[in-house]
Amino acid sequence: MNNNQKVVVYVRLKDGVLDPQGVTIHKALGQMGYDEFESVKTGRFFELEIKDSVENIDNRVKEVCSKLLVNPVIEKFEVEKA
């Protein structure tokens, strides 16, 4: 039986950082007649499975995010247990 823990990390641009992909999608929506959308923000997510034997799982996940998955200068992240 697998006793590993799963988490999902959501990564988004910080407020005030230009999101060119979101701007492009928003513009395309308007051109397609979907004028009701005020803005579009893009992001990405990671599903991580961690060995249950690891101590301080929350701290380890945050460490991995800060060192590898996220650019802390322009991005923010949220972690949810799956």
CATH number, domain with residue 43: 3.30.1280.10
Any bridge partners for residue 48, and if so which? 7
Query: How far apart (Å, rounded) are the C-alpha atoms in residues 62 and 11?
Result: 12
Q: At residue 21, what is the residue type?
A: Q
Q: Total structural domains in the chain?
A: 1
Q: Does the pLDDT of residue 1 top 80, yes or no? A: no
Distance CA 67, CA 70 (A): 7
The model's pLDDT over 11-64, given as tens digits with 9 standing for 90+, comes to 999 999 999 999 999 999 999 999 999 999 999 999 999 998 888 999 999 999
How many Å apart are CA 33 and CA 80, to the nearest integer? 35
| pLDDT(69) > 90 | yes
More confident residue, 52 or 10: 10
Give pTM, 2 decimals: 0.86
The parent domain of residue 75 ranges over 5-81
Q: Is 10 helix (H, G, I), strand (E, B) or coil?
A: strand
